[in-house]
Amino acid sequence: MKIYNFSINDYRSITRAYKVRLYDKSILIGPNNEGKSNILRGLVLTLQTLSRATFGTIRSHMIRPYLYRENIIGYDWEKDFPVRLQKTKPDGSSEFIIEFELTESEKEEFKKLLRCQLSTNLILRLNFYNDRITFDVVISGPAKKVLEKKYEIISNFLRDHINSQYIPAVRTTSYAIDIVENLLARALWQLEEDPKYKRLIDQIEERQKPILKTLATGLTTSIKEFVPAVKEVELNTSRTLRRAIRQSCRVLVDDGIKTDMEQKGDGIKSLIAISLVKHVSKTLAKQRNIILAIEEPESHLHPEAIHRLSTVLSEISLEQQVIITTHSPLLVDRINVENNIVVYKSKAKAAIDIAEIRDILGVQVSDNLSCANWVLLVEGEEDKKIIKTWITELSSRLKTAFETGRITIDDLQGSTNLSYKSAQYKSLLCNIFVYLDNDSSGNGSFEKAKTKGLIDYHEAIFAICPGKKESEIEDLIVVNVYTEAVQNKFGVRLQGRLFKNNKKIWSERVADVFRHQGRPWNKNIEAEVKKLVAECAAQAGIESLQTNCGNSVKVLVSSLEERLKL
């Protein structure tokens, strides 16, 4: 069971949010004080009411407002119903409509319980008044009357299938410890049926009795002076002792220095809280569908940690529905733009394009990136010429994407800048794809960026040439395309055993030939040779790509087409 869409009317700052479509991972974005948190809290309020309340039949389909535990959102009409409407609508309500998409097995279970076949999604309406909460199933036709008589059964069905986990923006130490203590209580509960454990508790109670009796006698004497009718005060720790053992613990975290969690920095506390809720969610997921709601998960985190967090949230969303609010461009879904929900001027709607999200978040980009959703990163300026020529000749669709600005290409000015450039472009809400030399520098830079959470395996392709352990993009070029130009400019013939050595990358082989023929060689000369080779390859077009080494380029083309959904 997952949320398909959600609507809100007259809740806090939200006047209307109509059928907000929610996916496996949904991101609420928008300026401050526009209602992101209120939409998330309204959703959590609805879920927690459905998963904890019992609604009766149509004759008494209301329940008294009830108190929530700490860290669970409740409803207070005077605070939550828009103040500007309270005088004109003294019996007004905050309305929440939630549509659930059921699995086939859940539909079968629903049918058996209620003897009613659902032909659509399950749509429910909750209205929160000052003195009551009303519940209704939004459905038309004969099934309406059938379901109205079975609200209690529907309530039980929902409680069995829904569990929301809410993580507020302020994640204190006590919040995390509460989670651990609840886990501890659940784990230790089974011990209370162990005879040995019971005997140990009984022994503790026996040792406590004389002390408790003496204390109680003193309290009785003092209280009787003010309340003569009091005969005796008794202290009994039997119940509280067991509870204290179950729910008292100290959380020590060793991240190089073992200390109490409360002494850690806010960033560590925040990540620990999120990880604990993830753990609880996985534990409970066996029984019920978990919906994870997080306010500003990026709070107190540095950019690299936010990148890693983004990956973790995506992994969680494969099993559990995740809904977050954020101000961070790094947590925006750049591939599936519709997963981003823009909250602005007290309304909410799915984002139309990445440009709209950039505008809402105040992300400033250069002209060549104003329309770009994707940036192809290559190692050098020469690589840009070669790769762009090849892929635009191999794919007319990619050629159009370059012309319309949907994709652009940029060079790293060396593979060591991969981490920096990846972080930079993702902060500008661009998706990236990387084409790197298959050498120690390219592979090392990729692993470094991968470790930092700045890039993933599916975002990179390497210039692999069959038969070579390492290779550069120049290894993929037909030799005859540039040999004459190199000889004319540098007086060097690129041929012979040294140049054909498969154990070395192209630049090393060229260096060996230059030195063997008595020519100077340094970084500046290497750059000039590469520039000349790139110009020759670009001029020759796709014919300059070696047939037996072109597979990585073809995979690059198909990958970009798939990601741009061309």
Contact in structure between 169 and 37 (CB atoms under 8 Å) = yes
pLDDT digits (tens, 9 = 90+) for 339-381: 999 998 878 888 988 888 888 888 877 666 666 789 999 999 9
Name which of 165, 183, 171, 212 is nearest 44 in CA terms. 165
Rounded Cα distance between 59 and 152, Å, is: 12
DSSP symbol at 103: P
Angle value at C-alpha 184, between 178 and 186, nearest 5 degrees: 105
Report pLDDT for 541. Answer: 95
Q: Is the pTM of this model over 0.75?
A: no
* pLDDT value of position 200: 85
Q: Which three-class secondary structure string do you get for 232-295?
A: CCCCCCHHHHHHHHHHCCCCEEECCCEEEHHHCCHHHHHHHHHHHHHHHHHHHCCCCEEEEEEE
| Number of Cβ within a 10 Å radius of residue 316 | 21
Ranked by mean pLDDT, which of 103-107, 164-168, 219-223, 227-231 comes out on top?
A: 103-107
Q: Is 461 helix (H, G, I), strand (E, B) or coil?
A: strand
Q: State how far the Cα of 124 lies from the Cα of 398, in Å rounded to an integer.
A: 45
Q: How far is CA 416 from CA 85, 117, 193, 443, in A?
A: 59, 60, 60, 10
Residue 193 has pLDDT above 80, yes or no: no
Alpha helix ranges (H) inside 432-505:
440-451, 483-490
So what's the pLDDT on residue 534? Answer: 95
Q: What is the pLDDT of residue 64?
A: 39
Give the tens place of pLDDT for each residue, 235-283. Answer: 777 666 666 665 566 666 666 677 666 666 666 666 666 676 666 666 6
Q: What is the pLDDT of residue 182?
A: 64
Task: Give the C-alpha separation, 234 to 217, whole Å.
Answer: 8
How do 2-11 and 258-260 pair as beta strands?
A: unpaired
* CA separation for the pair 356, 345 (Å, rounded): 15
pLDDT of residue 222: 76
As a whole number, the mean pLDDT across the chain is 83
pLDDT at 58: 40
d(CA 449, CA 470): 20
| Strand-pair category, 133-137 with 62-63 | antiparallel
| 188 has a pLDDT exceeding 80 | no
Q: Are 331 and 341 in contact (CB under 8 A)?
A: no
pLDDT at 235: 73
Q: How confident is the model at residue 70 (pLDDT cuts 50, 70, 90)?
A: very low
- Return the half-sphere exposure (C-beta side, CA atoms, 13 A cut-off) of residue 299: 18
pLDDT digits (tens, 9 = 90+) for 479-523: 999 999 999 999 999 989 999 888 899 999 999 999 999 999 999
Q: How far apart are the first and last CA of the chain?
A: 32
- Strands 133-137 and 122-128 turn out to be antiparallel
Q: If you search the block for the tokens 């997952």, which residue do you land on?
A: 2
Whether residue 171 has pLDDT greater than 90: no
Say whether pLDDT at 66 is over 70.
no
pLDDT band at 476 (very low <50, low <70, confident <90, very high): very high
Q: Stretch 539-549: mean pLDDT, rounded?
A: 94
pLDDT score for 261 = 64
Q: For residue 173, name the pLDDT band (cuts at 50, 70, 90).
A: low
Q: Flag whether pLDDT at 63 surpasses 60.
A: no
pLDDT score at 371: 66
Nearest Cα to Cα of residue 354 among 334, 374, 339: 334
The reported pLDDT for the residue numbered 61 is 44
- C-alpha–C-alpha distance, residues 153 and 313, integer Å: 34
431 or 309, higher pLDDT: 431
Domain edges within the chain: 2-169+293-350, 173-249, 364-566
Closest listed residue to residue 418, CA positions, set 430, 431, 402, 435:
435
Q: Half-sphere exposure of 316 toward its Cβ, with a 13 Å CA cutoff?
A: 30
For domain 2-169+293-350, which CATH number applies: 3.50.50.60, 3.40.50.300, 1.10.3720.10, 3.30.70.260?
3.40.50.300
479 vs 548: CA distance, rounded Å:
13
pLDDT of residue 353: 85
- In this predicted structure, which of 57-71, 76-90, 525-539 has the lowest mean pLDDT? 57-71
- From the number of C-beta atoms within 10 Å of its C-beta (0-12, 13-18, 19+), residue 512 rates as middle
**553/376 Cα distance (integer angstroms):** 13
Q: Which two tokens stand for residue 259?
A: 């200390």
Q: Which stretch of DSSP H or E encloses residue 207?
A: helix 195-226
Q: Check residues 219 and 451 and name the one with the higher pLDDT.
A: 451
